[in-house]
Structure 1
Amino acid sequence: MPRVDLRLNPAIPAATLAPVRLTAGPSGKRLQTNQGADWVRIAVGAITRRRPEGLRRLLESLARMERPEGTEIAFLFCENDDESRVSEVVDAFRQEVAEPVELMLEPTKGIPFARNRVLTAALEQGFDFLTFVDDDEVVEPGWLANLLAAMETRKLDLGGGPVDPVAPDGRLTPMQQAILDDLIARAKREADGRASLAQSDGDQTVDVYTNNWCLRLAAVRERNLYFDTATAESGGEDTKFSQDMLALDSRNGWVPGAWVAEAQTRRRLTLSYQYRRMRDQTRTRSQREGFGRKKSLKNASQRYTEALALLLVLPAITLFSRRRGRETLVRIVRKAALAAGLVGGTLGMRSYHYAAGNEAMHLEDAADAS
């Protein structure tokens, strides 16, 4: 995927940002609703908390987005805060697009509470599909058309697509660049692996994440399923939702052509943040999936050993090449975080990745918002 420019372009007149373009999806066929009617009703959703510039960029990309033929679109946004801080941003977007735009306020802090607010609204308003992307992302023009074409042609209940990590504006330090390169490489490996599974129809049990997500709402109506609010501090509500869907015999799938780009802030491009994120995600996953004490400790020991071995040769690698030294250091941190997460999960330690004390990690950097 080509690099996506996340910067706003003030030279583009507002009137040109939101053409209501009716274009056929990649399948070339008219999409059908769950009940077989001609028009598909789609709720394009996003939740946000104190990221006004990130949300502005997302909305600009949604304004440019192709509108698939035979669809009726509405935008459902939820601000997870005690008062609105992005109403002006959403009001400006509302003036640019022809579709209905709704901004809800969810004062109970926590990602699953905000997602459930949007999900409930989509169900109550009778939509056929609900999509989610994050408020630090931008969508490719054909994102929605590709998602919906796959949902229809493959009869998916829950579909997801690839996320491309991209740099913030401005020059990065060498270490920040090394971390970004690692994120890009890992995202590409995941996207390529899942695309291969999709080609052979072997992706029906993949986990689907809300950073690029489409849900057939009839499947939720049948299963009475919502995001688990117990994950408000730990995170992982989307993975649990995906696995709950699979447990109830849903059909998940991967949509290789439905790309979004995620802006990485400088605060995230640090070894400390990457360590905490992987440690916390691994804790949550090991407890949710029940890796088992013996298996977890064995894997943790292996990762610690690998990290120690790399640490011992790090000075020699750095002497030979500083770039390779930075790459090796990123690998060491990742392996150590994975090991710590496995041990912590085995000991019953919870993740507090999204707890109030860690909120600063998830807000916009002033330098990246300018």
Structure 2
Amino acid sequence: MSVVVAILTRDRPRMLKALLHSLASLQAPNNCLVRFLIVENNESNSQEETVKSIRPLITFGTIHYILETSLGIATARNTAAKEAARFGSDLLVFVDDDETVPTEWLSNLIDGYRESDAVLLGGPIRAAPLIGKHNWTERLMHRNIFRRYLRNERRAARQASLRKTSRTTIVTNNWIGQVSLFTDYKLRFDEKLNWSGGEDTKFYSDVRALKLTTGWIPDAPVYETIPRDRLTLQYQYNRAKDQSTTSFRKKLKAKRIAIYTLPVSVAIKSVVMVSLLLLIPVTLGATYLSFARTSGWIAGRISAIGGAKSEHYRTVTGE
């Protein structure tokens, strides 16, 4: 079986290097030809030397670098898919450049695929521990993010399996799919979503619309490094706003009548938002992130009505 493990990167050299070092420590999956593909989505090849420096540490498979100068996350993902097809690979794996992976990650991911009849599968994401000094609000936000990821993982473990995903969406921070989705079914990541994000959610919806089987691999987690600039109330509010804007624009496009239910939804969410704010001191900060995200949800819905578009991926966070 031939597998391409694709990493998209842009202006995050330290994070990319940490991920590459974790990939170098992977145990080799059984009976697989593995290619690691780094797609730098940038105007110049600033990370090619970093990739070359890791090459001697890779104990199995080969490592490849490609520069995609047409900026946009969906475009870069489609470039990775084209390369996987050009290699004649059976499977394409995505992992983000702000993550690291445990030694058994790839083996468990591929074993899960082999045990399933799904064409697209995902796995959990966990918050990596904080490193270095942080102030109390940053530690509080990290604790909230850690708990949110843990709740999501536990919910997915209850609702999804190797042969069904129910209400669990497969996103590209931990993703394995057949290359035939691109070559035979002609699916693509929607490049209209290059800057807003949500291209992976739409891709998952497109796979489901074809009545193809999707699955969940609970024992193949990845660990996201949460940089300091994401540990603020403002960032989490903005991220939720962008997601809400993109989601509601999609909903309005499919069903314009959704606009008439918005006042009720916003009124309910506003009550929830105020409650979460008041509960922050009572819960010792446990509702801190929920307050930020609920506020962002409301703002995003209202922005979508005014025709706003998310530009989330124009700004790079992390280093």
TM-score, with normalisation over the residues of structure 1?
0.80
Q: Secondary structure at the match of 1:119?
A: helix
Q: Say yes or no: does 1:60 pair with 2:21.
A: yes
| Partner AA of 2:317 in structure 1 | H
Equivalent residue for 1:362?
A: 317
Deviations 1:31-88 (A, max 9, x none): xxxxxxxxx0001111100111111111111111111111111111110111111112
Q: Say yes or no: does 1:301 pair with 2:235.
A: no
1:37-48, aligned counterparts within 5 Å? 40-48=1-9
Q: 2:298 aligns with which of 339, 348, 370?
A: 339
| Partner AA of 1:60 in structure 2 | H
Q: Secondary structure at the match of 2:242?
A: helix
Unaligned stretches of 5+ in structure 1? 1-39, 365-370
Q: 1:218 aligns with which of 180, 183, 186?
A: 180
Q: Say yes or no: does 1:173 pair with 2:135.
A: yes
Q: Secondary structure at the match of 1:187?
A: helix
| Partner AA of 2:39 in structure 1 | C
Q: What's the CA shift for 1:111?
A: 0.9
| Partner AA of 1:195 in structure 2 | A
Q: Which moved more, 1:288-297 or 1:204-213?
A: 288-297
Larger Rg: 1
Call closer, same or farther: CA 1:70–1:151 in 2, change over 3 Å.
same
Q: Which moved more, 1:255-264 or 1:85-94?
A: 85-94
Equivalent residue for 1:330?
A: 289
| Partner AA of 1:193 in structure 2 | R
Q: What's the CA shift for 1:247?
A: 1.2
| Partner AA of 1:286 in structure 2 | F
Equivalent residue for 1:353?
A: 312
Deviations 1:133-183 (A, max 9, x none): 001101111111111112121111111101111244212211111111111
Equivalent residue for 1:86?
A: 47
Q: Say yes or no: does 1:261 pair with 2:216.
A: no
Q: 1:129 aligns with which of 91, 95, 102?
A: 91
Call closer, same or farther: CA 1:194–1:163 in 2, change over 3 Å.
same
Equivalent residue for 1:368?
A: none
Deviations 1:277-314 (A, max 9, x none): 00101111122244711333322211112223444x46
Call closer, same or farther: CA 1:114–1:68 in 2, change over 3 Å.
same
Equivalent residue for 2:237?
A: 275
Q: Which moved more, 1:332-341 or 1:196-205?
A: 196-205
Higher relative contact order (CA 8 A, sep 6+): 2
Q: Find the aligned partners of 1:102 and 1:293 in 2 and give their Cα distance.
A: 47
| Partner AA of 1:269 in structure 2 | L
Q: Find the aligned partners of 1:235 and 1:123 in 2 and give their Cα distance.
A: 23
Q: Secondary structure at the match of 1:295?
A: helix
Equivalent residue for 1:247?
A: 209
Deviations 1:201-240 (A, max 9, x none): 5415632111100011123322111111111111111111
Deviations 1:251-271 (A, max 9, x none): 111111111000000000000
Q: Which moved more, 1:145-154 or 1:157-166?
A: 145-154
Q: Find the aligned partners of 1:204 and 1:332 in 2 and give their Cα distance.
A: 27
Unaligned stretches of 5+ in structure 2? none
Q: Find the aligned partners of 1:200 and 1:82 in 2 and give their Cα distance.
A: 39
| Partner AA of 1:69 in structure 2 | N
Call closer, same or farther: CA 1:339–1:138 in 2, change over 3 Å.
same
Q: Say yes or no: does 1:231 pair with 2:193.
A: yes
Q: Secondary structure at the match of 1:68?
A: coil
| Partner AA of 2:295 in structure 1 | A
Q: Find the aligned partners of 2:170 and 2:219 in 1 and give their Cα distance.
A: 15
In 2, are the aligned partners of 1:159 and 1:253 still within 8 Å (CA)? yes
Q: Find the aligned partners of 2:61 and 2:81 in 1 and give their Cα distance.
A: 18
Q: Secondary structure at the match of 2:6?
A: strand
In 1, are the aligned partners of 2:123 and 2:174 still within 8 Å (CA)? yes
Task: Calculate the aligned-residue CA RMSD, in Å.
Answer: 1.9
Q: Find the aligned partners of 1:199 and 1:328 in 2 and give their Cα distance.
A: 30
Q: Find the aligned partners of 1:333 and 1:342 in 2 and give their Cα distance.
A: 14
Equivalent residue for 1:208?
A: 170
TM-score, with normalisation over the residues of structure 2?
0.92
Q: Find the aligned partners of 1:329 and 1:131 in 2 and give their Cα distance.
A: 34
Q: Secondary structure at the match of 1:341?
A: helix
Q: Which moved more, 1:68-77 or 1:160-169?
A: 160-169
Call closer, same or farther: CA 1:143–1:296 in 2, change over 3 Å.
farther
